[in-house]
């Protein structure tokens, strides 16, 4: 089975696995039903939300990939949020963390280029020790993870079949930095089918009263390799 057919089937399989896992553990710790939100207009999305199952961390054996990747997908952990047709987030474990760190840290040169080209852009630097691979709570997305992307609406393979989303602060650290001052860096890397980084976006926040703003580094690839296409700066009055 190809990866894209697997993706379509994975959410159904994950739901079944979650039910089986919950049944096995029922006597140990009964799962609490997720909180519901009012839905007087019978909104379809809210129906899916209210009918979701408790989130589960599951083990997945990925099928043969239709694209090349330096990541090892032979056996990975996935996070099933519990909603019907919800995509499954892939945890990054073992040797895969070294690959993720290498690619994330390779973006530092573009952060440096942004400051060198425009002194109004602050100095930002991603530190290896700050890259998070575990959520502070199971339901939070404050960690670095992978996503395999589905077919396009016309049924074609996506240009970027794999996405990495990285994070350097927990949710609590984010609130502390945004209220007391500091910096925050997060972003995404999109991989081409040959395994190379095709594009990336690095979002850098500087939380200071006199110098408060968000700087978005847009990185692209041409025939010569990756380059800094532009930096989106905050609009000052």
Write the pLDDT tens digit of every residue in 11-38: 444 444 443 444 444 444 445 666 777 8
Residue spans per domain, the chain:
3-232
Mean pLDDT for the stretch of residues 156-168: 95
Query: Distance between CA atoms of 10 and 6, rounded to whole angstroms?
Result: 6
Query: Who has greater pLDDT, 137 or 125?
Result: 125
146-167 mean pLDDT: 91
Q: Is the separation of the CB atoms in 183 and 207 below 8 Å? A: yes
Q: How many CB atoms lie within 10 A of CB 94?
A: 10
Q: Indicate the range of 28-37, 95-104, 106-115, 215-224 predicted with least confidence.
A: 28-37
Over residues 55-65, mean pLDDT: 73
pTM for this one?
Answer: 0.78
- Minimum mean pLDDT range among 24-28, 31-35, 98-102, 171-175: 24-28
């Amino acid at each position: 089975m190809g990866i894209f057919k697997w993706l379509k089937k994975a959410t159904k399989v994950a739901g079944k696995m979650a039910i089986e896992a919950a049944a096995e553990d029922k006597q140990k710790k009964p799962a609490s039903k997720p909180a519901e939100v009012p839905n007087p207009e019978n909104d379809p999305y809210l129906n899916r939300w209210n009918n979701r199952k408790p989130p589960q961390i599951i083990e997945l054996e990925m099928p043969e990939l239709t694209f090349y990747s330096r990541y090892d997908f032979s056996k990975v952990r996935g996070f099933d949020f519990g909603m019907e047709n919800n995509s499954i987030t892939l945890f990054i474990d073992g040797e895969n963390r070294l690959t993720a760190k290498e690619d994330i840290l390779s973006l530092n040169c573009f952060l440096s280029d942004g400051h060198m080209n425009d002194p109004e852009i602050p100095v930002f630097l991603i530190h290896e020790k700050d890259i998070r691979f575990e959520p502070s709570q199971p339901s939070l997305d404050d960690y670095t993870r992978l996503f395999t992307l589905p077919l396009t609406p016309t049924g074609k393979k996506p240009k970027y079949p794999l996405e990495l989303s990285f994070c350097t602060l927990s949710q609590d650290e984010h609130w502390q930095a945004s209220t007391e001052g500091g910096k925050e860096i997060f972003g995404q890397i999109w991989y081409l089918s040959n395994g190379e980084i095709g594009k990336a976006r690095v979002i850098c926040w500087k939380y200071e009263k006199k110098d408060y703003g968000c700087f978005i580094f847009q990185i692209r690839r041409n025939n010569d390799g990756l380059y800094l296409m532009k930096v989106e700066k905050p609009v000052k009055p």
